[in-house]
Structure 1
Amino acid sequence: MTYIYDGVELEERTCPHCNEALSPWIAPPESGWGIIVVCNNNECPHFAGSDKEIINKRDDSNLGCRYAENPDNKYSSFNLLAWCK
């Protein structure tokens, strides 16, 4: 199925790690992305504990990674840096 978000047609997608629906997100203009789709499930195995898996990160940093896909690039997946608490 597809749906329209902010004038863009998107496929309904699910996270391959937790099967939750991916949510559309308008990326900042300086990122070079348009709209991406992101897993916002805090219990997702991909996100949970990801703050400990980033190499060469400051010990006091709270960054982790969420699963995301770029619709403009055939829904290719990537790790989206995110704030973990």
Structure 2
Amino acid sequence: MDQRTCPHCHSVLESWIGPPETGWGELFVCNNNDCHYYLTSNTCLVEQGGKECLGFRYAEDPMNNFSSFNLLSWFPASLKEKAQALANASNG
């Protein structure tokens, strides 16, 4: 199989096995903490009333024709400054 890549940062997606109770099998996930999509997802969630400690990672489900979806993920406080700098650069 060809390597799957993130359309936002072009990092190779990593294999991840979903917890059994989710019904997911293997998923492909972008684990790049510098991915623009991941870094900006936290701000989007917070603006909609979400928790500051969460973000979305780009993911694909091979059992569903590699359809993409937002995988809710931990967003560490240490990335807040980097995310804010990215938001300021986009707005300025």
State the partner residue of 1:72. Answer: 63
State the partner residue of 2:35. Answer: 44
CA offsets, 1:22-45, max 9 Å, x none? 000000011111000000000101
Query: Runs ≥4 in structure 1, deviation > 6 angstroms?
Result: none
* Number of aligned positions between the proteins: 74
The structure that is helix-richer by fraction is 2
Consecutive unaligned residues in structure 1, runs of 5 or more: 3-10
State the partner residue of 1:30. Answer: 21
Provide the rounded CA distance (Å) in 2 between the counterparts of 1:43 and 1:84.
Answer: 12
Q: 1:57 Cα deviation (Å)?
A: 1.2
Choose which of 12, 21, 42 in structure 1 pairs with 2:12. 21
State, as a whole percentage, how many aligned pairs show the same letter. Answer: 50
State the partner residue of 2:80. Answer: none
TM-score between the two structures when normalised by the length of structure 2 = 0.76
The structure that is strand-richer by fraction is 1
